[in-house]
Amino acid sequence: MKKWRNRFIIFVCLIAAVFCGVYTVYRLQQEKMETSSIYEDKSEELTAVQQEEVYPEPKEATILAAGDIMFHEPQIRAAYNEGNDTYDFKDTFKWVKPYISSSDLSIANLETVTAGKQYGYKGYPNFNSPEEVIEALKYAEFNVLSTANNHSLDQGKNGIISTIDNIEKYGLKNLGTYKTPNHSVLIENVNNINIALLSYTYGCNGMEQTLTSDELGYMINLIDEEKIRSDIEEAKKQKADLIVVFIHWGNEYQRNPNENQISLGEKMVKWGANIVFGSHPHVVQESQIIKKDGKNNFIIYSLGNFLSNQRLETVDNKYTEDGVMVQIQVEKNYERNETIIKNITYIPTWVRKYKDGNKLKYEIVPVKEFLDNKEEQGLLTTKEYTRIEDSYKDTMDKMIK
């Protein structure tokens, strides 16, 4: 009897042991599954966070453009210092320098060449200026000079090369004329916004014949629709966020754009240009907004004369004294991957010419600033204030509201 009882106890213990073992395995399996589920949930949460991309804050930049910069003989003589045989044009820009320097990227049309003293310094019709004119533009804090215009070849091939050399010497960049065939679209990175800059001219006053056909093909950008379209496409391939075109076109002294300007302007926007700055007419022409894909694109057909000796007394045309600096604020939105025009500011200018003792002086005047501070400054004569009042109205009447 005792023997059977012992066997029964052993049997019960074995059953209990088996049960405990099975239960332990079951609990371990459950814990493993629960742990796995927790990690899977965590993994899904991490994946969701990783997939939620973080974009940089939008970036902004300001682009400023000024019109035709010419140096006629009276201006060259006025800048000459006989005592040390040097030229100084910097004072001409002292009033507008704050506007130029406060912009992130400032561009203007240099409508002369700096071929060297050996060619003789001269004005119209075949310009050649001292290299100090570029030193003055550096002082004014321009960054890029458009050199494709009808006076690019006034001193032939050497004029183009010397001008580019001098621009580089003073730490600026040029646009539209080149020394070698191997050049690409100029793209300036401004506050992490890639801005492509292109420049073209309708012609060079018949001086194209001074170059070989090969040289003409690469040394100066002539207006050619296929080339412009191709360059815009190249700018896109190079990941340009914004495409700016500086173009020398239109009819001199005409205050309205011609049909060719309007047609080509619309085509350039259609091809992908966002901003078009026009030059050559030597008077201010209208500005315009063209919408494409829901975005505003800007054209000003002529920025007028930023600096010259042309005026009522010399060419019987008061509008040649007027110019306008256009300052455009752009914004790049990384989340939408687009760059838009946020704001456009017009800064009308007027070229002041006056005598200081026996010395002739030229100054570019920011018109509104002078009108707003007329009482405090009192820098101009009564006649000059009347002229800049007219100048301001004439210019702003052409600007899109």
* pLDDT average, residue stretch 14-35: 49
DSSP one-letter string for 165-218: HHHHHTT-EEESB-SSS----EEEEETTEEEEEEEEES--TTGGGGS-HHHHHH
In this prediction, residue 31 carries a pLDDT of: 52
100 pLDDT more than 80: yes
pLDDT tens, position by position, 128-144 = 999 999 999 999 999 99
Q: Closest Cα to residue 221, out of 154, 158, 147, 281? A: 147
CB 289 within 8 A of CB 269: no
* Banded pLDDT at 341 (limits 50, 70, 90): very high
DSSP state of 222: B
Token pair belonging to 34: 């629960």
- Cβ burial of 112 (10 Å; 0-12, 13-18, 19+) is buried
CA dist 188 and 175 (Å) reads 12
Token pair belonging to 9: 């106890």
pLDDT tens, position by position, 255-301 = 999 999 999 999 999 999 999 999 999 999 999 999 999 999 999 99
Is beta strand 59-69 parallel, antiparallel or unpaired with respect to 305-307? parallel
The CATH class for the domain spanning 59-396 reads: alpha beta
Distances, alpha carbon 302 to alpha carbons 45, 189, 307, 323, in Å: 57, 26, 14, 9
* Banded pLDDT at 29 (limits 50, 70, 90): low
Token pair belonging to 108: 């203007």
* Banded pLDDT at 345 (limits 50, 70, 90): very high
CA dist 170 and 64 (Å) reads 19
* Banded pLDDT at 375 (limits 50, 70, 90): confident
State whether residue 326 is helix, strand or coil: strand
State whether residue 244 is helix, strand or coil: strand
In this prediction, residue 8 carries a pLDDT of: 46
Angle, CA of 177, 178 and 184, to the nearest 5° = 105
Positive or negative, the CA dihedral 90, 394, 147, 313 is negative
pLDDT tens, position by position, 171-230 = 999 999 999 998 889 999 999 999 999 999 999 999 999 999 999 999 999 999 999 999
* pLDDT average, residue stretch 78-102: 97
In this prediction, residue 315 carries a pLDDT of: 98
Comparison of pLDDT for 51 and 302, the residue scoring more: 302
Does the model's pTM come out above 0.85? yes
CA dist 123 and 23 (Å) reads 104
Phi and psi torsions of 311, nearest 5°: -170, -175
Distances, alpha carbon 3 to alpha carbons 6, 7, 8, 10, 14, in Å: 5, 6, 9, 11, 17
pLDDT tens, position by position, 290-337 = 999 999 999 999 999 999 999 999 999 999 999 999 999 999 999 999
CA dist 167 and 390 (Å) reads 35
* Banded pLDDT at 25 (limits 50, 70, 90): very low
Is beta strand 186-190 parallel, antiparallel or unpaired with respect to 80-81? unpaired
Cβ atoms within 10 Å, residue 202: 15
In this prediction, residue 12 carries a pLDDT of: 45
In this prediction, residue 376 carries a pLDDT of: 72
* Banded pLDDT at 47 (limits 50, 70, 90): low
pLDDT > 90: what percent of the chain?
83
Q: What's the mean per-residue pLDDT of the chain? A: 91
16 pLDDT more than 90: no
* pLDDT average, residue stretch 43-54: 58
Comparison of pLDDT for 46 and 250, the residue scoring more: 250
38 pLDDT more than 50: no
Token pair belonging to 45: 């949460």
* pLDDT average, residue stretch 54-70: 96
* Banded pLDDT at 4 (limits 50, 70, 90): very low
Give Cα 393 to chain centroid, integer Å: 26
Amino acid at 37: S
* Banded pLDDT at 50 (limits 50, 70, 90): low
In this prediction, residue 44 carries a pLDDT of: 52
* Banded pLDDT at 400 (limits 50, 70, 90): confident
